[in-house]
């Protein structure tokens, strides 16, 4: 499987590239699900693969669809390779690692938008600009969506509309995206005509 192709969208919607090996003192990899493949593809392009792995810290978690390629990543022989069971359990470790990150650290994010967005948010919080963080989307396209009404985040949204997991309103999913919240925006679909909610359609798989 290769990089996910998305249709054209509005300018706040993140765009993703292809991970490229870059010179760095430390290579910090954060990935989930099929993102493991982006990491191995990137390493295959490295001029000094052994040197890169000797300075690499991989933080990985299975994807929202259950894809778990931990064994493949563990076999690479990186300096550190850690499997977290979920994204929420991955993030505290990332925050701790970031507290030691110095100039010359290269960041590689790969996998689903929820994982990439939350890792990017936490890296940006250290003052690192988002356009210097490499990101490659692979795997599930389910979305992390914030309800604009109650502010609650619903993870792994597959349908449009969907029911907010916090306040219960039916929300349609916009492409408008906040890096600070690491989420798309959900807006009540039947606000003007209460009760008239169209049937949900699977838009994100």
Partner 1 sequence: MSLDFNLGAFNDYFRNETFRDDFTYANSPAGIRRFPFPFDRDDYMYSVNMEPHVPGRKGSVFEHAFDVDEHYVSEMIDRAKVLASDPLRCQSLPHMTLAGWDLLELIMEAKARDYPQWFTLTKDGNRWHWINRPLGIDHHFTFLDDSTLPYGPFEYITRQTQGDFTLQDERDNDLWMDAGMVTSQADWSLDFDIGMSFMEWHAPVPLAHEKGIFDRALKFLLKLQHGAPVRRFNWTMTVNPLLDTAPETYPVWGPTKTSLTPENLGQKQHLRVELQALFRLPRSNAIAFSIRCYLGRFEELVTIPKWGRRLHRVIRDINPDVAAYKGFLRNRDAMVAWLAGYDDGAPTSPGFWPED
Between 54 and 167, whose beta carbon lies closer to partner 1?
167
Least separation in angstroms between CB 151 and partner 1: 7
Give which of 168, 170, 164, 162 is closest to 189, Cα–Cα.
170
CB proximity list for 70: less than 8 A, separation 6 or greater: 36, 60, 62, 83
Between 45 and 151, whose beta carbon lies closer to partner 1?
151
Give the C-alpha separation, 53 to 56, whole Å: 5
Least separation in angstroms between CB 153 and partner 1: 12
Give the C-alpha separation, 47 to 70, whole Å: 24
Least separation in angstroms between CB 185 and partner 1: 6
Least separation in angstroms between CB 11 and partner 1: 4
Contacts with partner 1 by CB under 8 A lie at 10-13, 129, 146, 148-149, 151, 169, 174-181, 185, 187-188, 191-194
DSSP state of 130: G
Between 61 and 170, whose beta carbon lies closer to partner 1?
170
Between 76 and 187, whose beta carbon lies closer to partner 1?
187
Question: What b-and-e string marks burial along 77-90, b requiring 16 or more CB atoms within 10 Å of the CB?
Answer: ebeebbbbeebeeb
CB proximity list for 159: less than 8 A, separation 6 or greater: 200, 201, 202, 203, 204
Between 140 and 188, whose beta carbon lies closer to partner 1?
188
């Amino acid at each position: 499987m290769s990089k996910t192709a998305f249709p054209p969208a509005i300018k706040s919607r993140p765009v993703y590239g292809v991970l490229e090996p870059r010179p760095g003192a430390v290579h910090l990899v954060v990935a989930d699900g099929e993102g493991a493949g982006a990491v191995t593809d990137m390493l295959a392009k490295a001029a000094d693969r052994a040197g890169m792995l000797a300075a690499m810290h991989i933080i990985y978690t299975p994807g929202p669809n259950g894809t778990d390629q931990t064994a493949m990543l563990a076999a690479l022989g990186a300096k550190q390779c850690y499997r977290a069971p979920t994204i929420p359990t991955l993030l505290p470790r990332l925050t701790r690692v970031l507290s030691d990150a110095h100039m010359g650290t290269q960041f590689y994010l790969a996998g689903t938008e929820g994982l990439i967005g939350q890792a990017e948010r936490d890296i940006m919080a250290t003052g690192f600009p988002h356009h210097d963080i490499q990101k490659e989307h692979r795997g599930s396209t389910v979305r992390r969506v914030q309800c604009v009404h109650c502010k609650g985040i619903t993870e792994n949204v597959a349908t449009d509309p969907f029911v907010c997991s916090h306040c219960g309103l039916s929300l349609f999913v916009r492409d408008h995206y906040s890096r600070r919240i690491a989420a798309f925006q959900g807006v009540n679909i039947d606000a003007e005509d209460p009760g008239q909610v169209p049937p949900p359609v699977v838009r994100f798989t």
